[in-house]
Amino acid sequence: MILSVEDLHFAYGQHLILKDISLSVGRQEMVMILGPNGSGKTTLLRCLNGINRPQKGTIHLEKKDMLHMSGRDIARRIGYVPQSCEKVRLTAFDAILLGRRPYVGWRLTESDIKKVDAIIHTLGLDDLALRYLDEMSGGELQKVTIARALVQEPQILLLDEPISSLDVRNQIEIMETLKHIIQGHGLSAVMSIHDLTMALRYGDRFIFMKKGEIRYVLGKKEISPSVIADIYDIDVDIEFIHGTPVIIPAW
Reduced 3-state DSSP string for 73-121? HHHHHEEEECCCCCCCCCEHHHHHHHHHCCCCCCCCCHHHHHHHHHHHH
Task: Tell me the per-residue pLDDT of 124-139, one tens digit each, with 9 for 90 and over.
Answer: 899 999 999 999 888 8
Identify the pLDDT of residue 3: 94
pLDDT band at 93 (very low <50, low <70, confident <90, very high): very high
Identify the pLDDT of residue 223: 93
Phi, psi of 47, deg, nearest 5: -70, -40
Least confident piece of the model among 40-49, 170-179, 192-201, 227-236: 170-179
Burial of 2-13, coded b for 16+ CB within 10 Å and e otherwise, reads bbebeebbbbee
Please state, in angstroms and as integers, the Cα–Cα distance from residue 80 to each residue in 7, 31, 77, 130, 158, following that order. 22, 14, 10, 23, 5
CA 203 to mean position of chain CA atoms? 12
Least confident piece of the model among 41-45, 122-126, 163-167, 196-200: 163-167
Q: Above 90 in pLDDT, residue 167?
A: no
Q: Is the pTM of this model over 0.95?
A: no
CA-to-CA distance for 60 and 50, rounded, in angstroms?
12
CA-to-CA distance for 187 and 231, rounded, in angstroms?
29
Please state, in angstroms and as integers, the Cα–Cα distance from residue 121 to each residue in 15, 83, 91, 93, 175, following that order. 45, 23, 16, 11, 17
Task: Tell me the per-residue pLDDT of 11-33, one tens digit each, with 9 for 90 and over.
Answer: 998 899 999 999 999 999 999 99
Q: Above 90 in pLDDT, residue 221?
A: no
pLDDT more than 70, % of the chain: 100
Q: Which residues contact 146 (CB under 8 A, 6 or more apart)?
A: 81, 123, 159, 162, 174, 177, 178
List the domains of the chain with CATH numbers: 3-85+154-249 (3.40.50.300)
Over residues 80-93, the mean pLDDT reads: 86
pLDDT band at 1 (very low <50, low <70, confident <90, very high): confident
- How does DSSP classify residue 250? -
Q: Is the distance from CB of 159 to CB of 171 less than 8 angstroms?
A: no
Element (H, E) at 196: helix 196-202
Q: Above 80 in pLDDT, residue 165?
A: no
Q: What angle do CA 3, 6, 11 make, to 5 degrees?
A: 110
Identify the pLDDT of residue 142: 86
Task: Tell me the per-residue pLDDT of 176-211, one tens digit each, with 9 for 90 and over.
Answer: 988 888 888 889 999 999 999 999 999 999 999 999
Over residues 131-152, the mean pLDDT reads: 90
Q: Give me the chain's average pLDDT, please.
A: 91
